[in-house]
Amino acid sequence: MIATAGHVDHGKSTLVRLLTGMEPDRWEEERSRGLTIDLGFAWTTLPTGDPIAFVDVPGHERFVPNMLAGVGPVPAVLFVVAADEGWMPQSTEHLAALDALGVRHGLLAVTRSDLADPGPAREEALARMAGTALGAVDSVAVSGRTGDGLDRLRSGLARLTTALPRPDADADVRLWVDRSFSIAGAGTVVTGTLAAGTLRVGDELMLASTGAAVRVRGLQSLGQDARTVSAVARTAVNLRGVERGAVTRGDALLTPGRWRATGDIDVTLRGEGSEDLPRELVLHMGSAAVTVRVRPLGAGTARLRLTRPLPLRVGDRALLRDPGRHRVAAGVDVLDVRPPDLHRRAAARSRGAELAALAGASPAVVADAVLRRQRFATADELRAMGLPVVGEQLGGGGLRVHPETWSGLLDELRALVDRWRGDHPLEPGVPVDAVRQQLRLPGTGVVERLAGAASLPVVEGRVCCPGRRAELPPPVEAAVAELTAALRIRPFAAPDAHRLAELRLGARELAAAVRAGRLLKVADGVFLLPGGETRAGELLAGLPQPFTLGEARQALGTTRRVAVPLLELLDRRGITERLPDSTRRVRAPRPA
């Protein structure tokens, strides 16, 4: 896949026509005026047997947005300069665009070499290209009128395509749409340059602009029907589930669930004019052109606020164009697609320094910095941002945490539990949801994992502090001591609600006494001393078996209010057994 760029429209189109036998100019106006207005497409087979496709882009300054929509997704360029005209102002903008987009593979064709010496135009063009991402490129002088140099051009194209990096056929699909039309009996068809990944008939994709699900009804590549198309390739996609008017140039077809649309990005800037940018520019990415607000952050970095979200990833390269001045303002490298708020004083300057330190860093380093700031992210979220999966995994849901975050949270949790114990002496620990809120954790499952890592037990929905003797506040201790003295005299005379109120023992105080091992809760409002169920079992074992509720109440010296729940407790603990006639008997002890 290669773009033909440069100022000379008729020279470019003629070369493509001679190489492929196809007419790249699709409109009558283009052919009559010799002026490429929109994107043209053609393809052929090289002497090596390899197919090659061309996107013929406009050269005139009025159609630069169309030109950028064509070169955005392609990996290489055939740059065309006329021998009799030489380097032109529009050639400068085309080259600046290629440089900003990071296109590193190219071939220079000097056309109309039958009309003038191609040497001067070749030398100037090569010198200008050497200072860009293209670097040193091969060059060929050709004549569209005589055909001289066409074989050398084909050989040069074969060498160029051989040198291109192998695309990742397993990558997530992001097909930038450059055309959309309808075919009778087929429905909506879109075209684009597939830069990575694979499309298959029957695939479900997502439309970036609306999030709507669409299905691939049919595929074509280089004019041939196909069941599968792998990058890099020009492809036409027949879609089911979308009207033609719902998808336009600048939209994208995406692998569902693998991309994140974003309206704010942090970027590093490239180019001579990047230090003094207007507040409003146009961001060109793929075939999309979106107006953005530029907020400089210092040190060659900026935040861009897009007027509509785009599916972008860390590592994407794009360009900013100033349409008023007809110039490429800067190239951009996307460093963050989920940037932090900048509300604090000096936050912008600090953020700029962070981004400058990450410029040119490896994806793993960038991922580490993003996860450190976000604290938590799922593996899918990291991949959707274009980042490798880093951090420590929490459970089987794919959630990741930065190691420094986890270490700090362990200390915070221990301190929180200690403070809570001092502030809430009657409670056994911090409610799990309170921990989640105070430590800003993504879920209660993370609280439980954090507590486990900190060796803090989670009991009845609370994070507790182990290994410490349960202590009661002095007023509660005094009341429980008074109650204990009374129960030692009459072990089964559980105090009633009135007596508990006199002792100022409410629900929280009684629960704390139970947790401290000072009381046994038989039922709501019924409390005995610890071991009371064992003592009761021993007394009931002395009765003729089986026995009635009344007999048990008399043996224990208590009331029905206490005897009924106490016997139910003994049943649950296997000390007694209730028989069909509602009598009970004490179970024989199990052999040791």
Does pLDDT of 440 surpass 80? yes
Looking at the predicted structure, is the pLDDT value of residue 29 above 80?
A: no
Tell me the CATH number for domain 2-163.
3.40.50.300
Query: Which region among 80-84, 333-337, 456-460, 487-491 has the lowest average model confidence (pLDDT)?
Result: 456-460
Which 8-state DSSP code applies to residue 186? T
Question: Topology of 403-464 in CATH?
Answer: Arc Repressor Mutant, subunit A (1.10.10)
> Which of these CATH numbers, 3.30.70.980, 3.40.50.980, 3.30.70.890, 1.10.10.10, describes 474-586?
1.10.10.10
Assign domain 174-254 one CATH number from 2.40.30.10, 3.40.50.300, 3.40.190.10, 1.10.340.30: 2.40.30.10
Q: Which tops the pLDDT comparison, 417 or 274?
A: 417
Domain with CATH 3.40.50.300 in the chain: 2-163
Question: Residue 547, Cβ neighbours under 10 Å: how many?
Answer: 20
Question: DSSP letters along 483-524, please?
Answer: HHHHHHHSTT----HHHHHHTT--HHHHHHHHHTTS-EEEET
Tokens of 489: 């005299």
The H helix count followed by the E strand count for the chain is: 18, 31
Average pLDDT, the chain: 87
The answer to whether residue 135 scores a pLDDT higher than 80 is yes
Which pLDDT belongs to residue 223?
86
Residue limits of CATH 1.10.10.10 in the chain: 403-464, 474-586
Most confident of 96-100, 291-295, 398-402, 494-498: 291-295
Q: How confident is the model at residue 32 (pLDDT cuts 50, 70, 90)?
A: very low
Contact 14, 24 (CB under 8 A): no
**HSE value, Cβ hemisphere, 13 Å, CA-based, for 24:** 32
**Nearest-angstrom CA–CA distance, 499 and 482:** 11
Q: Which residues contact 407 (CB under 8 A, 6 or more apart)?
A: none
The sign one gets for the Cα dihedral 46, 48, 51, 52 is negative
Contacts of 132 (CB under 8 A, 6+ apart): 95, 96, 98, 99
- Beta bridge partners, 200, equal 228
Q: How confident is the model at residue 30 (pLDDT cuts 50, 70, 90)?
A: very low
Lowest mean pLDDT among 193-202, 248-257, 413-422: 413-422
Total number of residues shown for the chain: 592
How far apart are alpha carbons 115 and 132 in whole angstroms? Answer: 29
Confidence of residue 512 (pLDDT cuts 50, 70, 90): confident
- pLDDT at 276 (0 to 100): 79
Task: Tell me the pLDDT tens digit for each residue of 275-289.
Answer: 778 999 999 998 899
What would the two tokens of residue 392 be? 């420590």
The CA distance from 333 to 525, in Å, is 68
Residues carrying CATH 2.40.30.10, the chain: 174-254, 261-360
* Angstrom distances, CA of residue 578 to CA of 353, 560, 582: 76, 17, 6
CATH number of this structure's domain 261-360: 2.40.30.10
Judged against a pLDDT cut of 90, whether residue 517 lies above it is answered with no
- Read off the pLDDT of residues 343-388 as tens digits, 9 standing for 90 and up: 887 888 899 999 999 988 999 999 999 999 999 999 999 999 999 9
d(CA 153, CA 143): 11
Strand ranges in 19-75 using DSSP code E only, listed in sequence order: 40-45, 51-56
Residue 321's closest CA among 573, 71, 9, 504?
71
- Read out DSSP for 224-273? EEESEEESSEEEEEEEES--GGG--TT-EEE-TTS--EEEEEEEEEESGG
> What pLDDT sits at residue 243?
86
The predicted pLDDT at position 31 comes to 46
As a whole number, mean pLDDT of residues 141-151 equals 90
Are 4 and 67 within 8 A, CB to CB?
Answer: no
The percentage of the chain sitting over the pLDDT mark of 90, rounded to a whole number, equals: 51
d(CA 499, CA 525): 11
Q: Are 462 and 496 contacting, i.e. CB atoms less than 8 angstroms apart?
A: no
Please give the biggest Cα pair distance in the chain: 127
* Dihedral sign, Cα of residue 315, residue 323, residue 250, residue 109: negative
Residue range 194-203: mean pLDDT, rounded = 95
Task: Read off the pTM.
Answer: 0.76
